[in-house]
Amino acid sequence: MNPKKTSRIAKHVIYGSVGLLVILLLFLIGYILITGLPGMSWHFLTSVSQSFEAGGGIRDQIFNSVYILLLTTLISFPIALGVGIYLAEYAKDNWFTSLLRTIIELLSSLPSIVVGLFGYLLFVIKFQIGFSIISGAITLTFFNLPLLTRSIEDAFRAVPLDQRQAGVALGISKWKTIMGIVFPCALPKILTGVILSAGRIFGEAAALIFTAGQSNSVINYANWNPFSPTSPLNIFRPAETLAVHIWKVNTESILPDAHQVSSGSAAVLIIVILIFNFGARRLGNVVYRKLTATDKER
């Protein structure tokens, strides 16, 4: 067979596999949306869920998911940034760094159920925080950290060396070079990393079942005092997220409309992640342009 023919065949095979992937994606997303969207209504999105009667909604679950996501990111981002900078800029290539990387990766590959049980025994029981948003957020931090650290480190490494040389040549301290020059350049990539990990947090159920809990307390959205037990902002109240709700409805629910609620929730979840993805990408571009004073998008 001559090389040209092989090249053509290879191209077709590759296009074929992409086609397959696209079909698979369309099927998955289509399946979720088609089963979920018919049951969708304003009522479904804005009412509280029911224990065993039909007609429940997912208002609190949506809020909880977003709130836990924000808290987790808030806790894990500074830590991950520090470790990422260390690994990319300061770390020497020795056994310690190697060991550090290995255990960080190890943390990311732990099954989420194990992390969840650890969080349960430590935060919920030992520290007596109880089933709460904060227990959930800290537990999620555990496996958000490795992912985030890795993507931040990669983002920093991708910035060309010249940028740092330029900074140092101007007599700025290394730290300032990192924060003032390298960080803004790495920001779009960092944001992508944050989005990716956010997607995983948003869809995580196993780690939250035992930490944030699987039921909601009564929430009053007019109450913005974060220390009141009925306030949505209270971080010590138990909170069921969307993904946990899907899990619960699928496994133990006796709702007559369980099927609808679960597929509706799944559809909402996908749509939220979609919005989140595109929104954050936009934001990344805007921030990047502002920080680096460029006019064009990257």
| Touching other proteins, residues 173-212 (CB under 8 A) | 173-176, 178-181, 183-185, 195-196, 198-200, 202-206, 209-210
Q: Which is nearer to other proteins, 63 or 211 (CB)?
A: 211
Using CA atoms, how far apart are residues 215 and 61, in angstroms rounded to an integer?
Answer: 9
Q: Residue 94 interacts with other proteins (CB under 8 A)?
A: no
Task: Give how far Cα 218 sits from Cα of 123, 147, 212, 266, 267, Å.
Answer: 23, 34, 15, 23, 25
Report which of 282, 264, 198, 273 is spatially closest to residue 37, judged by C-alpha positions: 264
- Print the SS3 string covering 96-160: HHHHHHHHHHHHHHCCHHHHHHHHHHHHHHHCCCCCCHHHHHHHHHHHHHHHHHHHHHHHHHHCC
Among 1, 42, 51, 95, binds other proteins (CB under 8 A): 51
Q: How far is the CB of 27 from other proteins (least distance, A)?
A: 9
Helix spans in the chain (H): 3-36, 42-46, 59-85, 95-109, 112-119, 133-158, 161-169, 174-177, 183-202, 206-209, 242-251, 258-292
Q: Which is nearer to other proteins, 42 or 109 (CB)?
A: 109
Residues 54-73 that bind other proteins (CB under 8 A): none
Q: Which stretch binds other proteins (CB under 8 A): 17-25, 37-45, 55-63?
A: 17-25
Q: What is the size of the binding site for other proteins (CB under 8 A)? A: 134
Tokens linked to 295: 């006019």
Residues 122-181 that bind other proteins (CB under 8 A): 122, 124-125, 127-131, 134, 138, 142, 145, 149, 160, 162-163, 166-167, 170-176, 178-181
Residues 213-272 that bind other proteins (CB under 8 A): 213-215, 217-218, 229, 235-236, 238, 243, 246-254, 256, 258, 262, 266, 269-270
Among 43, 82, 220, 279, binds other proteins (CB under 8 A): 82
